[in-house]
Structure 1
């Protein structure tokens, strides 16, 4: 039986080209980002509620859920504010008129599950490969949106950790 040094964290086998990311995050996962709980809106909620919620919570993205409480898309609040100020959005409009829908799972846009135990290097790879600035953090079955992780959250984590 081999003895394990308790001061040393075992490292998994690292794929070529990923050593830098693994070293950058040192085994941390999404849960370590300590994200605030997500605030989701139903697809039929009025724009006024979305703007108020985003302002109170200082969120730029709000996940939108269908009648079965499954994520179907998101509102990008800065764009929504501009449309509202320009008069092209009414307070009573349902958010469904202004959301960005998630692509359904397909070969060209596969759905990637990001959950609390997803390694941070995988989250960064997702941001790069999908060309997005945020990810919905869900449970494994995608039944609940738990939080929203952003590129800024990763940068803050690395700075905080030193």
Structure 2
């Protein structure tokens, strides 16, 4: 999936007639931990039909980043040959470099921490980075603009951003568009 740019928008300006992210019927978020093996992450991805899996801390359930499983599969041969241990923390997109440093310090001895269930509540990441808040009541026009600005997934949260409902992708919006007649 390629990133959108200002010159090549994924979505054209469109009136979604009051539809919101809730109308996409985004499934609940499925999460994994940084210590989840790549094989297990791919298995979870296939089972739940997700290309992106939120990665949360085992103990405090804070959102640390995301794993692009589609990209992993495309680079499977490189991963097999890599000297890095085949676990999520080595291949995920970390939202904050400081969170990665803190996590790595906590797990220096490489002790396997307890896993959280895939349907765990996910809490917002720490740090001061600004995020676009996307909730179930966000208009689809805003979601389309979010994807057009180069984002290839959206984490749908409550208004405070401290509870994750699910992950939406451009494919979810395209599916919605194709199921509704254009004005």
Higher RCO (CA-CA < 8 Å; seq separation 6+)? 2
- Where in structure 1 do 4 or more consecutive aligned residues deviate above 6 Å? none
* Per-residue Cα deviation, 1:39-81 (whole angstroms, up to 9, x for no partner): 1112222222211101112211111112421222111112212
Report the counterpart of residue 94 of structure 2 in structure 1. 101
Provide the TM-score with structure 2 as the length reference. Answer: 0.66
Instruction: Report the CA distance between 1:132 and its aligned residue.
Output: 1.5
State the distance in 1 between where 2:168 and 2:49 align.
14
Partner of 2:72, secondary structure, is helix
State the distance in 2 between where 1:111 and 1:133 align.
14
Structure 2, unaligned stretches of length 5 or more? 1-11, 97-126
Pair member with larger Rg: 1
Q: 1:60 aligns with which of 51, 55, 62?
A: 51
Q: How many residues align?
A: 138
Report the counterpart of residue 39 of structure 1 in structure 2. 30
Instruction: Report the CA distance between 1:85 and its aligned residue.
Output: 3.3
State the distance in 1 between where 2:77 and 2:162 align.
34
Report the counterpart of residue 137 of structure 2 in structure 1. 117
State the distance in 1 between where 2:33 and 2:163 align.
13
Residue pairs, 1:134-149, within 5 angstroms: 134-149=153-168
Tell whether the 8 Å contact from 1:61 to 1:77 is kept in structure 2 after alignment.
yes
Residue pairs, 1:3-82, within 5 angstroms: 21=13, 24-66=15-57, 67-82=59-74
Q: 2:178 aligns with which of 134, 159, 162?
A: 159
Structure 1, unaligned stretches of length 5 or more? 1-19
What is the root-mean-square deviation of aligned Cα atoms in Å?
2.3
Structure with the higher fraction of residues in strand conformation: 1
* Per-residue Cα deviation, 1:115-140 (whole angstroms, up to 9, x for no partner): 111111111111122x0121011122
